[in-house]
Every structure is written in structure tokens, then in C-alpha cells.
Chain A
Amino acid sequence: MARRAHPPAAAAAAALALAALVGCSPDIGNGTYFCGPERLCPPDQECNDNTYTCESPRLAERFECPAGSTAAEPDDTAAEALDVGAITCGAVLVEDRRGCIGEVGDVDLIAFELVGACVGDRPHMEAAVRFPIALVPLRLELLDEEGAVIDVAEVCTVSGDATGTERLCIDAAIEPGRYLLRVQAEPDGPDCDGDCHHNQYTIEVTYPLA
């Protein structure tokens, strides 16, 4: 009885096994993820600092402060702080204002004043800063007129947030007076060994009565 091998069958089996392996390689499209901390992206992609998304290296841009975000510069000292005026009870004082921490040591200061007591269940000042996770994390502080720190913002990013950003919030009951909000890079925050020690942000300040 003649016996012989079946090369076509073996080749077909091998081809089938290789075809089955096609779905086993992670395939990540350009621009489908926000960059992680310190510009973390898949190996074949790079972080676009301005859109903070993982892109092909060809499309990745280096960081530039967004247009209008440096209009208040210089605002690094109490004397140079951007003065947004007096708080109106129950109103929005600053609404999604864009800012930028462009270099090491850069600080943005916003000054405001609470003139008189507001009537309500729980009148308080709320300030929130939102910034991309990809670059150096920021720090938001509430200072009194002398520059002493009253409060430090805590992370208040909503679970399931799909914006690639972190949110820091301050919720403080304050007495009438002049105050400063200070935005700066988190001291000792991860910054790609100094290569991504910059970030953009938006800030909002309100004074709800309840």
C-alpha cells in the first residue's frame, strides 16, 4: 500500500494558524488615545503636545501655548496678577479662561476681591483648573492678600471623564477681602525629565450661594 505525505494539507494548516494570529497583534490607530502621563503613547506613536493625543510621529507637534493664553503675562507676582475684579454673589467670575505654564518657574496669578458678605445657605468660592494629563501636572492654590496659602486644590476629575484632562478644585468659604489664585507646575511633578515641563489649562471661578 502506498503512503505519502500531504504537503498541501500541512501548508493549509500552517496558513490557517498564521491567519488566526492576525487578531493577536494590538493595532492602535493614530489619534485614538489621549497621551498618558509624561507623554505616554504606544511605541510607534508620539504625543502631540497641543492636542495631547497619540499621533504618528509625522503629525506630532511640540508644545506651544494656545492663542490668547499668555495675554495676561507677566503675571508671576502679586503686583502683576491678573485682576478679574470683585465677586458678584452667586455669579461666575471667571469662565473657562485659558492659561499657559510655558516654562520652568512660570506662575500665573489671578486676583479677585470679595467685597461684602453674600446671603445664602452656604456662600462659597469655587475654583477649578483643567489641564491635559500628558504634560506636567499643575497645582492650584488660594492665597490671601499677603500671599499665604489658604487652600490647595484637590483632584475632582469626574469618573469616566473622556477629555484626557485632570481637574483640580477648590471649594472654600472666604471672608470679604482680596485673594489670589496661583497656578503653577506641581513641584516635583513628573515632567519627562524636564522635557514636558509645560502645560495649558482652563480656569473657572464662581461664587455659588448654596
Chain B
Amino acid sequence: MRAMPAKGPRLVAIALAVGCALASAPARAQDYFAGAGEPISFEVDRPRSRSDKILIASLFGGSVLFAGVGLLFHLDSRDKSDAVSTSAGKHTGKVYTVDLDDARRGALRSRNVTIASYAVSGGFLVGTFIAYLITDPGRERITVGEEPARLSVQPTAGGALVGTWWRF
């Protein structure tokens, strides 16, 4: 026959814990419900207007568009420059032809377009940032819980739905 473990000390410990919790519960409940009846305030972002959103999106889109155009001309300029450029002291064995001169001119032309496109893109980007700051609608404080209780009656088939709210 096996020996049964002693249950007495464990039951005493459990009884003590439950007793302490019950003794302190009313005080903690009073703390909790004490603030429930007061209004609650918090800050939220105001929504940006539709026209402001369109303005910011347009400026940013312009920035992306001109950056893309600049990138295309950038790559074109780099390719043409690579085709013409040489290192001093290393003879290419090539004749400087009209085609090479056209490539050189094209590289310079594309480079200028690249610079202009990047500049315009940067301008649009800065404009986007400025517009983002200027059109910032800010934040507002919302307080809930100040409204008086209202009775709501909603007719339904064969009766009505009645509702209201309470604070406690």
C-alpha cells in the first residue's frame, strides 16, 4: 500500500491566498470605477484634405517622372561616353570619325538633359516636402463622455427597439 502525500499544508496556503485577495478587492475596484464616469480626452491627426493629397501626389509624381527621365538620359550619356572616352597615353588605333564625334555630342547632350531632369526632379521633391509641411492639418483633441444620455427608439415590425447608454 502506497503512502498518500500530506494535503493539509497545501490547503492552508490556498485558503490564505484567496482570503487576502478577497480582502483587498473592494479597495481596488473602487480605484478602477472611480475614473469611469469622467470624460476621456485624446489627440488624433486631422485628416488631410483631398486637394492637398492631390497636390502632394502630383508633386511627388513629377519628381519620380523627371528622375526616371534623368535616369534614362544618364544611362544613355554613360554608354555614349564609354564608347568615345579614352585614357591618355593609350592609343586606340581608331580614326576619329564623324560617327564618334556624333557619339561625343550625344553624350554631352544627354548629360545636359540628365542634369536638367535631376534638377527638376529635385525641385519637385523639395516642393513635395514643403507641400507636405505646409498642408499639414495638425492634430485635434477629442473628448468623449461629455454627451448626455439619450434615448433611442427604432421602430421595428411589430414593435420597437429601445436603447440608451450608461456610464458607471
Contact = CB atoms under 8 A, between A and B. Distances in A.
B81 A24 contact: yes
A5 B81 CA distance: 36
B91 A53 contact: yes
A26 B92 contact: no
A8 interface: no
Please classify the interface of chain A as helix (H, G, I), strand (E, B), loop, or mixed, using the class held by over half of its residues: loop
A40 B97 contact: yes
B89 A26 contact: no
B90 A5 contact: no
A140 to B, nearest CB: 20
Contacts of A10: 126
Contact of A36 (B90, B96, B126): B96
Interface string B103-141: 110011011001100100010001001000100100100
Interface in A5-32: 5, 10, 13-14, 17, 20-21, 23-32
Given A21-B115, A23-B81, A28 B110 contact: no
A24 B85 contact: no
Task: Place the interface of chain B in its size category.
Answer: 35 or more
Given A28-B85, A29-B89, A162 B94 contact: yes
Nearest to B75: A24
Interface string A115-136: 0000000000000000001000
B84 interface: yes
B95 interface: yes
Given A31-B88, A32-B88, A34-B96, A26 B74 contact: no
Nearest to B126: A10
Please classify the interface of chain B as helix (H, G, I), strand (E, B), loop, or mixed, using the class held by over half of its residues: helix
A27 B96 contact: no
A35 B108 contact: no
A47 to B, nearest CB: 9
A36 B95 contact: yes
A5 B114 contact: no
B111 A33 contact: no
Contacts of A40: 96-98, 101
A99 B11 CA distance: 125
B136 A33 contact: no
25 contacts: A3-B133, A24-B78, A24-B81, A24-B111, A25-B108, A25-B111, A26-B80, A26-B84, A28-B85, A28-B104, A29-B87, A29-B89, A30-B88, A31-B89, A32-B86, A34-B95, A34-B96, A35-B95, A37-B97, A40-B96, A40-B97, A42-B96, A53-B91, A54-B96, A133-B95
